[in-house]
Structure 1
Amino acid sequence: MSFWPEFLMIASVHLLAVASPGPDFAIVLRYAVRFGRRAAIFASLGIGLAILLHVTYSLVGIGVIIKTTPWLFQLLTVLAAGYLLYLAQGALRAQAPSAGDAVALEQQTRPAGLKAFTAGFITNGLNPKATLFFLSLFAVIISAETPFSYKVIYGIYMALATASWFCLLSFLLTNSKIRGFLLLKGYWFDRLMGVLLLALAVKLLFSSFVDGS
């Protein structure tokens, strides 16, 4: 079968999905504002690596088990919502820094790498919407006759494309012209992200219990 038509279809659908606002965008924006470019890039890499998790269980069939086992899918949703709530409460408590605190905030970018990477990985890895997206992708767009090696290439591409998109977003959000402003006024963005994360968590829980009822 032809590789390129299917690949281009997957790339187009994936681009629309990754560019739409959601938990991944909120996490990258929060780390970019609060901790700077390095932390935001680490979060982006974590999100990209988590894509391979979704691809792997879609390829081996575990994703179907998750989708067809209501209690397991609901548990995944609750865990994702709980993690978003945990991140939200930290963001909502952000305080306005003094002028001298800007330097301290700049220095916070150093040790935040692993934490940001983990946050990005967990946020995407536990996202039930990502689970449904990749299940749909492999069931509807990718043909059953597509060679396994092609599917692996698709998965690697989507992981790299996702990480690249959010890394680009990290650079844009931490441009030097707005870095000083974000360091001093970024707590408002932090609080806004807290509200967004809270809303996403509530939406996840609501949809989970409505669909499960």
Structure 2
Amino acid sequence: MDATITLIIVFAIFIPALMLPGPDFVAVVRSSMTRGTKAGLQTTIGVSAGLGLYAMLSLLGLSTLLVEYQWLTWTVRVLGGCYLIYLGMKLIRARPKADDFALTSDETTSKQRGNPVLFGFLVTMTNPKAIVLFASVFATAVTAETPVWLMVLMIGLVILSALVWYTIISLFMSSAPVMKRFTHAQHWIERVAGVCFIAIGGRILADARNPVSP
């Protein structure tokens, strides 16, 4: 298959899936609106790195292993779902801080706990739906004859696409008009993000026994 056609097929599936709201989207929005632009962009880097790693693992045969060993799929889903639920509970139970009632600045952000890059990376890596996504994406166009340079290019474009999309989301959500509007609601933003993570984690656990199709 021609390289251009392969790229078109892969990214015609990946780009719409990337833009659908999910745990990665919630993570970037939460960081941007509660911790500012810098944290939002750092979370974007973590999410993009996670998606790039999943793309690489899928091309190396991870999706095939998950199809062959369904217990491994179950384990990944249970661990991922439990982590997202734990993260959601942590956000819901977090107490409002004094700086929740002032516009978040990068200086304030730097003093807050947590590593936004690691946060974004872990949210992505504990979302087993990403595995299924890449398994379906690459199964449509990638074969044993696909050259290595093309697979490397696809991984790079996955990372670039995620960086561009979530950077746009981060810059918008941390912009002055948005931040001004939600100045006094940062604690509730944390809670809404927590509820979203719990709902997504619960759905993942509910689907844990569903097999991954080859």
- With the length of structure 2 as denominator, give the TM-score of the two structures: 0.88
Equivalent residue, structure 2, for 1:180: 180
> What is the letter of the counterpart of residue 77 of structure 1?
R
Residue pairs, 1:2-17, within 5 angstroms: 2-17=2-17
Equivalent residue, structure 2, for 1:74: 74
Distance 1:158 1:111 in 2: 32
Equivalent residue, structure 2, for 1:145: 145
Q: Which has the higher helix share?
A: 1
Preserved contact between residue 102 and residue 184 of structure 2 (Cα < 8 Å): no
Equivalent residue, structure 1, for 2:202: 202
Distance 1:36 1:172 in 2: 11
Distance 1:62 1:81 in 2: 19
Equivalent residue, structure 1, for 2:132: 132
> What is the letter of the counterpart of residue 205 of structure 1?
L
Distance 1:101 1:132 in 2: 37
Preserved contact between residue 84 and residue 126 of structure 2 (Cα < 8 Å): no
Residue pairs, 1:26-45, within 5 angstroms: 26-45=26-45
Equivalent residue, structure 1, for 2:170: 170
> What is the letter of the counterpart of residue 180 of structure 2?
G
Preserved contact between residue 85 and residue 197 of structure 2 (Cα < 8 Å): yes
Equivalent residue, structure 1, for 2:87: 87
Which secondary structure does the structure 2 equivalent of 1:202 belong to? helix
Which contiguous aligned blocks of 4+ residues in structure 1 show a shift greater than 6 angstroms?
none
How far apart are residue 189 of structure 1 and its match?
A: 2.1
Which secondary structure does the structure 2 equivalent of 1:110 belong to? helix
> What is the letter of the counterpart of residue 53 of structure 1?
L
Question: How well do the aligned residues superpose, as a CA RMSD in angstroms?
Answer: 2.3
Which secondary structure does the structure 1 equivalent of 2:21 belong to? coil
What are the Cα deviations for residues 50-107 of structure 1, in whole angstroms up to 9, with x where unaligned?
Answer: 1221122222223311332122111111111122112211221245566x65348534
Tell me which moved more, 136-145 or 166-175: 136-145
Count residues with an aligned counterpart.
211
- For structure 2, the residue ranges without an aligned partner over 5 or more in a row are none
Distance 2:156 2:198 in 1: 31
Distance 2:55 2:127 in 1: 13
Which secondary structure does the structure 2 equivalent of 1:146 belong to? coil
> What is the letter of the counterpart of residue 201 of structure 2?
A
- For structure 1, the residue ranges without an aligned partner over 5 or more in a row are none
How far apart are residue 194 of structure 1 and its match?
A: 1.1
Equivalent residue, structure 2, for 1:48: 48
**Among the aligned pairs, what percent are the same residue?**
25
Distance 1:26-1:101 versus aligned 2 partners, 3 A rule: closer
Distance 2:211 2:111 in 1: 41
Which secondary structure does the structure 2 equivalent of 1:208 belong to? coil
Q: Is 2:151 the counterpart of 1:118? A: no
Distance 1:181 1:94 in 2: 22
